[in-house]
């Protein structure tokens, strides 16, 4: 396979706006920065804007940027701007709450504040911040030929912006669904501006979307979903960048050859949705992409590796933190809820399946389930094991049932226009979160008798919504039905004796920061994660090829940042073979990877 040439296709005839999107850890910030340098090097004036909560644009360039347009001295024609999502969300909340402070009871203000505390508010507030960049309403931007965005607005955000313009009155009349409408309370006066921004996003003459992924099945599946979701709402001009592709290894390193073969297989079996899109391949670099020199070379083929002493630079006692140690602690209780949480692409499904297989192999009854629409537990297991039951909570099915129930109850006494507005309102993507939690609540009850292992639980934002007090909580309970208990499931999730939350991440900066953000979300909901799992660690695999050994050394600081902060951590090595199938999962959960734990059938 030929890798990318110095002029990648996604930069050819670049429009004014380029959006780089992808899951944490795929390298979209580095690709965005390198693209900005390339365009500036061609004599263009370029503004690089980051809306990523884990943004390290300033760190990449070695300077402090912040929320004002800042020139990058080392690159003529390049400026940068970092929109702090938390600051944006705080300002957004204040614009909504400020006018009614002192007019409403404190309990009601607290409920409104909680409604505005989740990820929906952060997404919309960030979109609010760069709307003027898309609509050319800011004279300071007139001189820029290109504006590059690190992290595009998701289909989730855009769908929220497209909800009915009359929803405020609709809610006031008690007709609407409040699952995620709190964040929308600041939108009414800006709908015209938002419409212009959405139109700019959908205009191929002005906007191009760059979907960044790694050469991994899960990562490619993620951007395939993103492609479909954004194309469905008019954002059709898209390019794919597969980043960090390992060149054909020369060294006799089984890990390197296994990774190469696995990546080539993933590329050869690109998801059908992506096959018609232009694709660029960016080679894996031996070091972290920090500094102008590394960024300048990112879009060019890798030069020959320099000699590297792997033994001295990668030495670390990572073998002392196997996944089996966590399983040893989980086992004695004989039952309980185990929730594997984390961002997309970190391997939650694999870790959940490995834990379930290990516990079932030790003679315990285990129910393994997922709330992840992209998860394929049966593909991961590829077999049957005594004591293990596998199921899947289908988000689409749960959401449709929830919508129909609301329409049948609250919509029963509405006129045709009212029902139509209610039906449109229920298309809010956060309706799915609430619906999934209802199905998830039924699964929780089983953990009193057996082990229930959940791959991808509801977000901390959803838990907060469902645990909100006073009128908001009562409204949620009323909509979901009188027969379903909501307090009891929350109490179980908050009880560390009944529930163990495992945060799954990678030994990379962005996934680690995202996991820390998720932990804060959970803690606000009264849930304290029990352990961290660092998955797919190169350092723990002890590679010998020069390129991978240098990459492994770069992981050590990230691993140390986690192990020095959290008491209970497992480090799972990257394995030569993808952990698919019962035997491979047994191996992953073994005390020493490569030596399967004894299984009792």
302 to 115, 282, 283, 411: CA distances (angstroms) = 48, 9, 6, 60
Q: Mapping DSSP to helix (H, G, I), strand (E, B) and coil, where does residue 176 land?
A: coil
Same domain as 327, residue 205 = no
User: Which residue did the predictor score with more confidence, 247 or 199?
Assistant: 247
> What single-letter DSSP state applies at residue 22?
-
Q: Identify the DSSP state of 204.
A: T
The residues assigned a catalytic role are: 25, 27-30, 52, 510
Domain end position, chosen among 162, 182, 210 = 210
Q: Please, which pLDDT band fits residue 473 given cuts at 50, 70 and 90? A: very low
Half-sphere exposure of 536 (CA within 13 A, CB side): 19
For residue 61, the Cα-to-chain-centroid distance in whole angstroms is 24
* Residue 284: inside a domain: no
Choose from 12-16, 86-90, 505-509 the range with maximum mean pLDDT: 12-16
DSSP letters for 207-263: EEEEEEEESSHHHHHHHHHHHHHHHTTT---EEEEEEEEPPPP-S--HHHHHHHHHH
Q: Is residue 111 part of a domain?
A: yes
pLDDT (tens digit, 9 = 90+) per residue, 571-586?
A: 999 887 778 788 888 8
More confident residue, 587 or 278: 278
> What integer pLDDT is reported at residue 177 of this predicted model?
47
How far, in Å, are 72, 144, 527 from residue 64 at the CA level? 10, 21, 34
At residue 492, the pLDDT reads: 78
Return the pLDDT at 246: 92
Q: Is residue 150 part of a domain?
A: yes
Q: What is the pLDDT of residue 298?
A: 83
Check pLDDT > 90 for residue 491.
no
Residues ≥6 apart with Cβ < 8 Å to 203: none
Residue 37 — very low, low, confident or very high, per pLDDT cuts 50/70/90?
very high
Q: What is the pLDDT of residue 4?
A: 40
400 falls within a domain: no
H or E element, residue 540: helix 538-541
**Model pLDDT, residue 525:** 75
Instruction: Flag whether 337 is in a domain.
Output: yes
Asked if residue 364 belongs to a domain, the reply is yes
Instruction: Pick 480 or 88 by higher pLDDT.
Output: 88
Percent share of the chain, pLDDT over 70: 76
Q: Is the pLDDT of residue 535 over 70?
A: yes
Q: Give residue 374's pLDDT.
A: 53
Residue 228 lies in a domain: no
Per-residue DSSP letter, 454: E
CB 363 within 8 A of CB 385: no
Choice between 516 and 95, residue whose per-residue pLDDT is larger: 516
pLDDT tens digits for 367-386? 998 876 555 667 677 777 88
The total domain count for the chain is 2
Are both 200 and 331 inside the same structural domain?
no
Q: Which segment, 141-145, 469-473, 536-540, is predicted with the most confidence on average? A: 536-540
Chain centroid to CA 295: how far? 24
Considering 192, 210, 228, which residue would you say is the last residue of a domain?
Answer: 210
> Tokens 């960016």 belong to which residue?
282
Q: Residue 345: which domain range?
A: 323-393+448-588
Out of 9-23, 452-466, 559-573, which region has the weakest mean confidence (pLDDT)?
Answer: 452-466
Tens digit of pLDDT for each residue in 92-143?
788 778 877 888 788 777 767 766 766 667 767 777 777 777 776 666 777 8
Which DSSP category does 151 fall into? Answer: S
Residue 282 in domain: no
- The answer to whether residue 305 scores a pLDDT higher than 90 is no
* Inter-residue contact 468 to 115 (CB < 8 Å): yes
Q: What is the DSSP letter of 595?
A: B
pLDDT in the model for residue 157:
57
**Could you tell me the sign of the dihedral formed by the alpha carbons of 125, 128, 134, 140, in that order?**
negative
The pLDDT tens digits of the residues spanning 281-299 come to 999 888 777 777 778 888 8
Cβ within 8 Å of residue 255, ≥6 positions away: 538, 541, 542, 543, 544, 545, 548, 574, 576
Give the residue-averaged pLDDT of 270-276. 93
Mean pLDDT of 210-239: 87
Short-list 325, 249, 291, CA closest to 60: 291
Element (H, E) at 107: helix 106-115
Reported as a single tens digit per residue, the pLDDT across 138-174 is 667 778 999 998 876 655 556 555 554 444 444 445 5
Between 199 and 428, residue with greater pLDDT: 199
Give me the CATH number covering residue 62: 3.40.50.300
Percent of the chain with pLDDT over 90: 26
Q: DSSP letter string over 47-103?
A: EEEE--TT--HHHHHTS---SS-EE-TTSTTEEEEE--HHHHHHHHHHHHHGGGTTT
Model confidence at 193: pLDDT above 80: no
Average pLDDT, the chain: 78
Mean pLDDT, to the nearest integer, of 16-22? Answer: 89
Q: 45-69: per-residue pLDDT in tens? A: 999 988 765 556 777 777 778 778 8
Indicate if the pLDDT at residue 250 is higher than 50: yes
C-beta separation of 1 from 279 below 8 A: no
Final residue belonging to a domain, choices 181, 210, 239:
210
Q: In this predicted structure, what is the pLDDT of residue 311?
A: 40
- Coil/strand/helix, residue 589: coil
Of the ranges 20-34, 44-58, 464-478, 497-511, the best mean pLDDT one: 497-511
Same domain, 182 and 36: yes
pLDDT interval class at 275 (50, 70, 90): very high
């Amino acid at each position: 396979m030929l890798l990318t040439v110095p002029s990648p296709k996604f930069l050819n005839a670049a429009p004014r706006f380029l959006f780089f999107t992808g899951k944490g850890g795929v390298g979209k910030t580095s690709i965005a920065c390198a693209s900005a340098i390339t365009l500036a090097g061609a004599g263009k004036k370029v503004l690089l804007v980051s809306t990523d909560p884990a943004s390290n644009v300033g760190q990449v360039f070695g300077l402090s940027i912040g929320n004002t347009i800042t020139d990058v001295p080392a690159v003529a024609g390049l400026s940068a701007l970092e929109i702090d999502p938390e600051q944006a969300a705080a300002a957004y909340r204040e614009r909504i709450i400020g006018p009614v402070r002192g007019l409403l009871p404190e309990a009601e203000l607290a409920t409104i504040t909680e409604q505005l505390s989740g990820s929906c508010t952060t997404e919309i507030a960030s979109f609010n911040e760069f709307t003027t960049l898309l609509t050319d309403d800011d004279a300071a931007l007139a001189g820029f030929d290109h504006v590059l965005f690190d992290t595009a607005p998701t289909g989730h955000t855009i769908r929220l912006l497209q909800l009915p313009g009359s929803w405020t009155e609709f809610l006031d009349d008690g007709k609407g669904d409040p699952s995620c409408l709190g964040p929308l309370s600041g939108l009414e006066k800006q709908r015209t501006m938002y419409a212009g921004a959405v139109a700019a996003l959908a205009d191929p003459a002005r906007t191009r979307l760059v979907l960044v992924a790694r050469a991994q099945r899960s990562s490619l599946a993620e951007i395939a979903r993103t492609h479909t979701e954004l194309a469905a709402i008019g954002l059709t001009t898209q390019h794919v960048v597969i980043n960090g592709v390992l060149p054909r290894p020369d060294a006799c390193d089984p890990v390197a050859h296994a990774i190469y073969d696995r990546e080539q297989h993933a590329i050869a079996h690109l998801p059908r949705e992506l096959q018609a899109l232009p694709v660029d391949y960016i080679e894996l670099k031996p070091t972290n992409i920090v500094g102008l020199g590394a960024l300048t070379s990112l879009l060019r083929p890798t030069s020959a590796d320099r000699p590297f002493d792997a033994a001295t630079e990668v030495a670390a006692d990572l073998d002392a933190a196997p996944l089996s140690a966590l399983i040893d602690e989980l086992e004695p209780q004989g039952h309980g809820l185990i929730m594997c949480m984390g961002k997309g692409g970190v391997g939650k499904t694999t870790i959940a399946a490995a834990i379930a297989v290990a516990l079932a192999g030790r003679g315990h009854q285990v129910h393994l389930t997922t709330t992840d629409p992209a998860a394929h537990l049966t593909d991961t297991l590829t077999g049957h094991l005594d004591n293990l039951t596998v199921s899947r909570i289908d988000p689409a099915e749960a959401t449709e049932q929830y919508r129909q129930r609301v329409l049948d109850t609250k919509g029963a006494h509405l006129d045709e226009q009212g029902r139509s507005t209610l039906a449109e309102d229920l298309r809010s993507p956060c309706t799915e979160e609430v619906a999934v939690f209802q199905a998830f609540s039924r699964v929780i009850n089983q953990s009193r008798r057996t082990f229930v292992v959940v791959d991808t639980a509801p977000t901390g934002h959803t838990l907060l919504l469902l645990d909100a007090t006073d009128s908001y909580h009562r409204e949620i309970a009323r909509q979901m039905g009188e027969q379903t208990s909501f307090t009891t499931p929350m109490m179980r999730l908050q009880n560390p004796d009944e529930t163990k939350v495992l945060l799954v991440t990678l030994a990379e900066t962005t996934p680690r920061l995202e996991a820390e953000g998720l932990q804060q979300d959970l803690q606000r909901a009264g849930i304290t994660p029990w352990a961290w799992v660092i998955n797919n660690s190169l350092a723990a695999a002890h590679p010998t090829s020069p390129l991978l050994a240098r990459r492994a050394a770069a992981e050590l600081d990230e691993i140390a940042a986690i192990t020095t902060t959290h008491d209970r951590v497992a480090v799972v090595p990257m394995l030569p073979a993808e952990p698919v199938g019962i035997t491979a999962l047994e191996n992953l959960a073994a005390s020493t990877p490569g030596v399967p734990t004894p299984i009792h059938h």
